[in-house]
Chains A and B, each alone.
Chain A
Amino acid sequence: GAVVSQHPSWVICKSGTSVKIECRSLDFQATTMFWYRQFPKQSLMLMATSNEGSKATYEQGVEKDKFLINHASLTLSTLTVTSAHPEDSSFYICSADGALDTQYFGPGTRLTVL
């Protein structure tokens, strides 16, 4: 149980384009999902908290107009990186809040912006 999927698992795009990443909780409902970014050899950095049916809460320093988050249902949250640039290349990981506030992570999406 407590399986979280992400799609796509990797994506390569040109600078200036937008990329959408989906995060799904497959066998449980998640009122809250989280989006993280991780650069090589560094720890997880929380970008935003996504609550079903309401606006996401962004961490300090994260541009909400660049990283659009939508949590339209209890099993799906999406992250759209708008006008991506090479510095946005990273490993993006979502997690879903399960029972007892335990976070279950998706497999991650590796984004490369050329």
Chain B
Amino acid sequence: QKEVEQNSGPLSVPEGAIASLNCTYSDRGSQSFFWYRQYSGKSPELIMFIYSNGDKEDGRFTAQLNKASQYVSLLIRDSQPSDSATYLCAVNIGQGGKLIFGQGTELSVKP
């Protein structure tokens, strides 16, 4: 059973702080990794994807991948109340584009 694990939270951070979201996966053959944001009652929205070990930055977001540790994370700098949402980690296991999703981490950014 291929799994993707996330802390369900909620993770609460003050406005302006760095939010750190973590994800581990079980399939060593996984090649691509995605972070989605889902606001309550809405569908998931792609934030970032990462394929290679190391960091990938896009604005206030940084994805980090460590394939040896089977670990991927998302850092959100200068967190804003509008960042409050559930963040889904997803892993492509190489089955025709199929993604395995974690259960999501709920983030709350307090003003």
Interface residues of A (CB under 8 A from B): 32, 34, 42-44, 46, 49, 51, 93, 97, 100-108
Contact present for B43 and A106 (CB under 8 Å): yes
Query: Knowing that A93-B44, A105-B43, A107-B43 are A-B contacts, what are 12 other residue pairs whose CB atoms are under 8 Å apart, sorted by A's residue number?
Result: A32-B96, A32-B97, A43-B88, A43-B103, A44-B88, A97-B97, A101-B32, A102-B49, A103-B34, A103-B97, A103-B99, A104-B46
Interface residues of B (CB under 8 A from A): 32, 34, 36, 42-46, 49, 51, 88, 90, 92, 96-99, 101-104
Measured CA separation A6–B34 after assembly (Å): 22
Contact present for B46 and A102 (CB under 8 Å): yes
Q: Which residues of A contact B97 (CB under 8 A)?
A: 32, 34, 49, 97, 101, 103
Q: Which residues of B contact A103 (CB under 8 A)?
A: 34, 46, 90, 97, 99
Give B4's nearest chain A residue, CB to CB: A43
Contact present for B44 and A105 (CB under 8 Å): yes
Measured CA separation A108–B44 after assembly (Å): 9
Give B94's nearest chain A residue, CB to CB: A101
Contact present for B43 and A34 (CB under 8 Å): no
Q: Which residues of A contact B42 (CB under 8 A)?
A: 107-108
Contact present for B43 and A100 (CB under 8 Å): no
Q: Which residues of B contact A106 (CB under 8 A)?
A: 43
Measured CA separation A82–B82 after assembly (Å): 38
Contact present for B98 and A34 (CB under 8 Å): yes
Contact present for B32 and A100 (CB under 8 Å): yes
Whole-angstrom distance from the CB of B43 to the nearest CB of chain A? 4
Measured CA separation A103–B46 after assembly (Å): 8
Measured CA separation A31–B89 after assembly (Å): 23
Contacts A32-B97, A97-B97, A103-B99 given; indicate if A44 touches B34 (C-beta within 8 A): no
